[in-house]
Amino acid sequence: MATLCRPAIAVPEYVITREQTLELARTLHADHPQLELALRLIGNTGVQTRHLVQPIEDTLKHPGFTVRNARYEREAKARVPDVVRRALENAEVSAQDIDMIVYVSCTGFMMPSMTAWLINTMDFKAETRQLPIAQLGCAAGGAAINRAHDFCTAYPTANVLIVACEFCSLLYQPTDLGVGNLLSNGLFGDALAAAVVRGAGGHGVRIERNGSHLVPDTEEWISYGVRDTGFHFILDKRVPGTMAMLAPAMRDMARPYDWDVSELDFYIVHAGGPRILDDLGRYLGLPQERFRYSRATLTERGNIASAVIFDALDRLFEDGGADDSARGVIAGFGPGITAEIALGTWTAPGNGRDGDRVAGRESVTLPA
């Protein structure tokens, strides 16, 4: 078992509202034969505001993939250190206490990974393990938590830092005019998150078990077309209905451990869109209020890809958390179609589990 501590969240300073998004769609695509459908779909997302890494007038330009990816790297290096420092503080550990860094992003590319840059610039140990995850899209936040849990299960006193950096606005493609693309232009936002998973001590969600589920033959439902102009997001119209397949997978994962996924105390799930949350509540027999944190993330920040579940989890912390030992689920959904699911119990501060060890522990020695 391992404890997922309180995340740190950051959003860029540029904001676009729902009304501005709709007006841009009317202006830019006045002759689009399905404009009214696109406007209705954007309006139904429930997204009121989104944050962008650059002003909207710059976002709408396409200077080429080289310039955009350079912008991604520059903005990531400028903004990631702050969320990392705050996440370490939340977990009461230092950079020297971290044994692995998991970096997740699907909106830019770096090699060496951002993990190498962090180790070189933020006083992490040279022996820190690196795990970049670039091709799981919105499911990557859940995958990062699960891989951190696996690592802490193998090395029970280890600590893992997770960083999610998503600048979805850098993927805007002015030539992609399908209804799904127009919808995406009004749905996705930019954000960063970081969180520490502690093998011993800490408070938050103590991960009990994790699992993954792939829906067969759905590889083309969410994908990237990788072209000279960069990443082109492809969204199949069947995606909103995936909860019919993923809700049973969540139930099946919990059943062997005598957990009923319809009777948990908290739910932190990826808010890909309003229908995802609506259908999940319907299939699990839950009132929509149970997904209030995910819904708030969607409303205030849009779909922020792998950072969604960390933003929603931070809202649970901000709300005072749950009762000690309360049961909950964290689930990320993304390309594949893939679900990454973790079941855990809430660990309140000062309950004495594992001695609540803090920074200053002896360094974990891991085999090469």
Query: What positions carry a catalytic annotation?
Result: 138
Rounded to whole angstroms, the Cα distance separating 144 from 159 reads: 13
Q: What are the tokens at 285?
A: 């027999």
Rounded to whole angstroms, the Cα distance separating 358 from 364 reads: 14
Q: From start to end of 25-158, where are the E strands? A: 49-52, 100-104, 129-133
Residues 6+ apart with CB under 8 A from 72: 107, 108, 109, 110, 167, 170
Residues 6+ apart with CB under 8 A from 183: 38, 41, 42, 45, 235
Is 149 buried (19+), middle (13-18) or exposed (0-12) by CB count in 10 A? buried
Give the residue ranges of DSSP H helices in 266-307: 274-284, 292-301
Residue among 24, 13, 67, 14 at smallest CA distance from 185: 24
292-301 vs 308-318: helix crossing angle, rounded to 10 = 120
